[in-house]
């Protein structure tokens, strides 16, 4: 019960900060004054309402996941953080394939199926984004220099990044 209230308070603080940040979004005369802020404000509002439910009506005896689940979540967070910084120097397909393979393996630990899913997802998403949605700024692959890789990776290391 106390854990739900603590989590609800953390989510409420985060939601309020998110809403405050959303109000600072710069707009131009073509997009309108409120439209670019609408989606982040809606997400912050839903998060704030959800946190109030946790604060005022907590679960009497929550079931927390096993330690292995927490470990899997930590692996997923690290993999997604590395993916976010490696997509620029390496292009779209290779980081997406590696990330999707690792996350697929976590869901179903079969290496062959995870690899096929990861590669298929990377190529399929690239085709959808590049040719169906016409997002022309997506690069399939890049051959980076070691300096570019270090610049990207250093973002993840505290006090070393830009």
Domain count, the chain: 2
Enter the DSSP assignment of 132: I
Distance, CA of 120 to CA of 74 (rounded, Å): 25
75 and 37 in a single domain? The answer is: no
109 and 49 in a single domain? The answer is: no
The number of helices, as runs of H, and strands, as runs of E, in the chain is: 6, 0
CB atoms within 10 A of CB 151: 16
**Which pTM value belongs to this model?**
0.65
Domain residues for the domain of 85 are 66-161
27 and 9 in a single domain? The answer is: yes
pLDDT tens, position by position, 68-97? 899 999 999 999 999 998 898 888 999 999
pLDDT tens, position by position, 144-162? 888 888 888 787 777 655 5
């Amino acid at each position: 019960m106390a854990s739900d209230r603590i989590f609800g308070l953390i989510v409420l603080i985060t939601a309020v900060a998110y809403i405050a940040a959303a109000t600072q979004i710069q707009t131009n005369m073509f997009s309108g004054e409120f439209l670019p802020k609408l989606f982040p404000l809606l997400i912050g509002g839903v998060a704030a309402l959800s946190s109030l439910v946790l604060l005022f009506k907590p679960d009497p005896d929550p079931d927390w996941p096993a330690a292995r689940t927490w470990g899997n979540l930590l692996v997923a967070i690290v993999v997604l953080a590395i993916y976010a910084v490696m997509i620029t120097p390496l292009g779209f397909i290779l980081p997406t394939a590696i990330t999707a393979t690792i996350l697929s393996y976590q869901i179903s630990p079969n290496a062959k199926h995870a690899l096929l899913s990861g590669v298929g997802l990377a190529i399929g998403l690239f085709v959808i984004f590049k040719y169906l949605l016409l997002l022309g700024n997506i690069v399939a692959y890049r051959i980076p220099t070691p300096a570019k890789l270090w610049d990207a990776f250093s973002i993840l290391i505290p006090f070393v990044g830009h």
